[in-house]
């Protein structure tokens, strides 16, 4: 993971007070930043399911109604097709995927305990493979997985009160924003940026994929431009989200001599320690690794004036509450605190009261899930194997870039391997994979080198993966909030997407 800019080697030594380091922490040789130009300082074998001897039924087609980017209100427009198709409204044909409680007709199987069998845990607790928290679950009504996108001729268009050039930010930052092609802020950006610029604490709630990251990065970058000694720490639940935020930060700060380091678990801590010897305006990381570096006296929290907790509810769900309290306790009493999330449960209201000072609450969320996502369920019949239903589904046209979610790390890895054996280009991402392996899988999926990414919920929070045509819940999520974040990987911005949940 690269964390340096081309101009980093020219930065001058920072003279602020810092912790002393033990010799065991000296890893300058591993640093990608030139040590000679400046003195170090402290910065703030899968068994295929058996089949019966009965002759298999003809395999149905998913149909053109699911082609990415199109409207998916119904399959009735394909009724003249010679192949059966996905029926969004509930066709009575037994040879089609039918939403709302009907079945996918395919050849029968012997059933049993083979991989991909019937899911008897309908939303129960499970290990997501992404955190340290205990499994938690809730019973989710399957009807909540169904929502048909309806095409309308006239759609209400959001009218922002500001343009980016209207914000009270430095000209250099405005140029960078225009350079990225940004003109009109999203609702959360339109509401939050002016308040953050005023120095107010924020609790921001918005649907996933609506630009929360820029909503806090832009005003914080502006603070650093005005005062180069300004430092901010950004805490997120997963390493993938941390890396994504740093990439977006770099996009805004190119040639502005603003520096950052990404501190996440699973990546070599020695390199992070080396980078922390230099002054960084932004430290972006996961709670566990940040706590470790603070304990090693490599991060002095008293030097940070601003703190962001992104996807705060997920960090609590993943069991990071003690780490978060530890970090917040080390921050100055007078600080700028920002909470951003797509969901914000009542359970963390006490933390908001503890951590924030008279916050402005901003909610631009009109519904739990994006209106651009066509949601439906696929019910398995008795004896059917989910792996075979999935196989037939993936062979249908329109499934160009598919994110599949599983319940456990072991199950996700196994499913990815099986799909590869069946001829699909598939990769997996879960907590048991090394940092470099997870990043490689993400890069291959983003760049369309593979069609399918199989993931635990570790990939569901905040990641911006372009042009995901379909999200498939191979396993039912533990909670409805998890479902919201899973399917939020498709239908982002103004694009259409499809989410399917296998039930049975």
| Sheet of 452-455, strand order | 373-379, 497-503, 470-473, 402-405, 452-455, 426-429
Which pLDDT band, with edges at 50, 70 and 90, does 135 fall under? very low
342 vs 102, residue with greater confidence? 342
**CA neighbor of 93 nearest in space, from 110, 76, 77:** 76
- Edge-first strand order for the sheet with 306-310 is 260-263, 282-285, 232-235, 306-310, 336-341, 202-205, 360-363
φ, ψ at 261 (rounded to 5°): -140, 145
What is the pLDDT confidence band of residue 462, given thresholds at 50, 70 and 90? low
The rounded percent of the chain whose pLDDT value lies above 70 is: 67
The structure tokens 């005062």 sit at 227
Please give the average per-residue pLDDT across 126-144, as a whole number.
55
Q: Which residue has the higher pLDDT, 343 or 110?
A: 343
Q: What angle do CA 408, 412, 414 make, to 5 degrees?
A: 120
pLDDT band, very low/low/confident/very high, at 95 (cuts 50, 70, 90): very low
pLDDT band at 431 (very low <50, low <70, confident <90, very high): confident
pLDDT tens digits along 206-216? 766 678 899 99
The answer on pLDDT for 356 being more than 60 is: yes
Any idea which architecture 8-14+22-40+162-363 has in CATH?
A: 3-Layer(aba) Sandwich (3.40)
SS3 letters for 327-362?
HHHHCCCCCEEEEEECCCCHHHHHHHHHHCCCCEEE
Say whether 242 sits in a helix, a strand or coil.
helix
Q: Which of 76-80, 95-99, 147-151 has the lowest mean pLDDT?
A: 76-80
311 CA to centre of own chain = 9
pLDDT at 61: 41
Among 53-62, 108-117, 233-242, which range has the highest average pLDDT?
233-242
Q: Confidence class of residue 348 from pLDDT cuts 50, 70 and 90?
A: confident
Q: What is the pLDDT of residue 364?
A: 82
**Mean pLDDT, all residues of the chain:** 76
Question: Of the spans 4-8, 45-49, 73-77, 388-392, which averages the highest pLDDT?
Answer: 388-392
Q: Which of 70-79, 222-231, 368-377 has the lowest mean pLDDT?
A: 70-79
**pLDDT value of position 174:** 95
Judged against a pLDDT cut of 80, whether residue 238 lies above it is answered with: yes
With a cut of 60, say whether residue 251 has pLDDT above it: yes
Question: Taking the model in full, what pTM does it have?
Answer: 0.66
Task: Indicate the domain borders of the chain.
Answer: 8-14+22-40+162-363, 64-149+371-503
pLDDT at 148: 67
Question: How many CB atoms are closer than 10 A to CB 161?
Answer: 9
Residue 72: pLDDT over 90 = no
pLDDT-derived band at 459 (thresholds 50, 70, 90) equals low
pLDDT of 417-429, one tens digit each? 999 999 999 999 9
Task: Mean pLDDT check: name the lowest of 30-44, 129-143, 265-279, 397-411.
Answer: 30-44
| Between 53 and 274, residue with greater pLDDT | 274
C-alpha separations of 38 from 115, 132, 293, 329 in Å: 57, 39, 22, 32
pLDDT band at 499 (very low <50, low <70, confident <90, very high): very high
pLDDT at 126 over 50: no
Q: In CATH, which of 3.30.2310.20, 3.40.50.300, 1.20.1560.10, 3.30.1130.10 is domain 64-149+371-503?
A: 3.40.50.300
Residue 372 or 452, more confident: 452
Q: For residue 98, what pLDDT is reported?
A: 41
In this structure, of 201-205, 323-327, 388-392, 459-463, the range with the lowest mean pLDDT score is: 459-463
Q: CB of 113 within 8 A of CB of 389?
A: no
* One fold for 8-14+22-40+162-363 and 64-149+371-503: yes
- Dig out the tokens for 464 from the structure: 């911006």
User: How confident is the model at residue 210, as a pLDDT?
Assistant: 78
Nearest to 136 by CA among 288, 312, 319, 286: 319
Per-residue HEC secondary structure of 258-289 comes to CCEEEECCCCCHHHHHHHCCCCCCEEEECHHH
Res. 367 pLDDT band, cuts 50 70 90: low
Determine the pLDDT at residue 312. Answer: 83
What is the average pLDDT across 32-60? 40
């Amino acid at each position: 993971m690269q964390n340096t800019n081309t101009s980093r080697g020219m930065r001058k030594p920072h003279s602020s007070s810092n912790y002393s380091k033990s010799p065991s922490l000296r890893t300058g040789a591993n640093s990608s930043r030139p040590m000679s130009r400046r003195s170090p300082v402290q910065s703030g074998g899968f068994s295929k399911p058996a089949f019966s001897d009965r002759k298999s039924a003809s395999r149905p087609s998913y149909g053109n109604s699911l082609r990415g980017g199109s409207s998916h209100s119904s399959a009735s427009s394909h009724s003249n097709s010679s192949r059966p198709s996905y029926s969004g409204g509930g066709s009575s044909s037994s040879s089609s995927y039918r939403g709302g409680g009907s079945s996918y007709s395919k050849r029968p199987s012997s059933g049993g305990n083979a991989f991909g069998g019937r899911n008897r845990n309908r939303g129960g607790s499970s290990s997501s493979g992404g955190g340290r928290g205990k499994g938690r679950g809730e019973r989710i009504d399957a009807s909540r997985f169904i929502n048909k996108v309806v095409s309308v001729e006239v759609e209400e268009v959001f009218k922002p009160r500001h343009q980016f050039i209207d914000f009270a930010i430095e000209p250099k930052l405005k140029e960078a924003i225009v350079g990225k092609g940004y003109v009109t802020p999203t609702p959360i950006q339109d509401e939050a940026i002016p308040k953050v610029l005023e120095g107010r604490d924020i609790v921001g709630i918005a649907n996933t994929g609506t630009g929360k990251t820029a909503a806090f990065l832009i005003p914080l970058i502006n603070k650093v431009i005005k005062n180069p000694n300004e430092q901010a720490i950004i805490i997120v639940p997963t390493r993938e989200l941390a890396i994504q935020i740093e990439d977006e930060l770099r996009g805004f700060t190119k040639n502005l001599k603003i520096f950052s380091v990404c501190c996440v678990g699973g990546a070599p801590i020695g390199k992070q320690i080396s980078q922390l010897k230099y002054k960084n305006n932004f430290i972006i990381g996961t709670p566990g690794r940040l706590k470790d570096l603070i304990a090693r006296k490599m991060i002095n929290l008293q030097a940070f004036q601003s703190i962001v907790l992104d996807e705060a509810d997920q960090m609590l769900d993943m069991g990071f509450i003690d780490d978060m309290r530890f970090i917040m306790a080390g921050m100055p009493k007078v600080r700028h605190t920002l909470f951003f999330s797509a969901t914000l449960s009542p359970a963390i209201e006490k933390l908001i009261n503890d951590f924030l000072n008279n916050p402005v609450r901003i909610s631009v969320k009109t519904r739990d899930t994006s209106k651009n996502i066509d949601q439906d369920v696929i019910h398995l019949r008795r004896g059917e194997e989910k792996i075979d239903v999935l196989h037939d589904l993936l062979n249908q046209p329109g499934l160009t870039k598919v994110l599949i979610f599983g319940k456990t790390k072991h199950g996700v890895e196994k499913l990815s391997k099986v799909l590869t054996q069946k001829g699909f280009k598939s990769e997996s991402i879960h907590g048991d994979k090394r940092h470099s392996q997870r990043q490689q899988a993400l890069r291959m999926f983003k760049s369309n080198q593979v069609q399918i990414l199989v993931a635990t919920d570790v990939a569901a929070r905040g990641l911006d993966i372009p042009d995901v045509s379909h999200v498939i819940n191979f396993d039912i999520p533990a909670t409805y909030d998890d479902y919201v974040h899973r399917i939020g990987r498709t239908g982002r911005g103004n694009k259409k997407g499809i989410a399917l949940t296998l039930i049975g």
